[in-house]
Homo-oligomer: A and B are copies of this chain.
Amino acid sequence: MGIVERRERLRNQVRSDIVKTAKEIAREDGWTAVSIRKIAEVIEYSPPILYEYFESKDKLLEAIRVEGFDFLQAEFVKIKSHFRNPEKQLSEVARCIWVFSVENPEIFQVMFNLEGAYCDSKRVYSHAMNIRDNPVWEMIAVLRPKSGEMVTKTYYEWWCLTYGFISITMTTQPRYAFAQAEPIYMEGVRRFIKSIM
């Protein structure tokens, strides 16, 4: 009975087509241009079909947001195992976020509601910020072995710094200026790391 498997495969295909199309439109014309109807047109289905895969537009954005956070989380885990020095680990994490935001601006925008992207789900934010199993939290804990509460505070600051930098740059600077903004960002990060050591 390959029928049910084939159907399942087709379902997954359509689902990923929806996500892919949303990102493509966003990348080309910004998230304000992304609509259910436009996605439907591209994947050659009628609009209501999308509701077979996502219960709302917001949930579709949430899926993309989760994808982004999960990807970064996985990268952080890799960095943690590839480098010993927590200072080095943190600066690599910072660089990783930067590169991600430059290469996948449309995902980053959904993750942080930038440039007209708007997704309600705060749940995901909180999850990403969560201490549990968070490699960056642990890096900071090694770098600055204090109470858990203190580490959480520092982690919060780290988060604000990197987020602030990238989102301000993404929002105010034109694309071509990103390259020259990166060293300023990395220098700021390094200064922060030094200031907490």
Contact = CB atoms under 8 A, between A and B. Distances in A.
Interface stretch (A40-48, A89-97, A162-170): A162-170
A196 B118 CA distance: 35
A156 interface: yes
A194 interface: yes
A51 interface: no
B160 A164 contact: yes
A91 to B, nearest CB: 15
Interface in A151-188: 153, 156-157, 159-165, 167-169, 171-172, 184, 187-188
A188 B113 CA distance: 24
Interface of A: 32, 113-116, 118, 122, 125-126, 129, 153, 156-157, 159-165, 167-169, 171-172, 184, 187-188, 191-192, 194-196
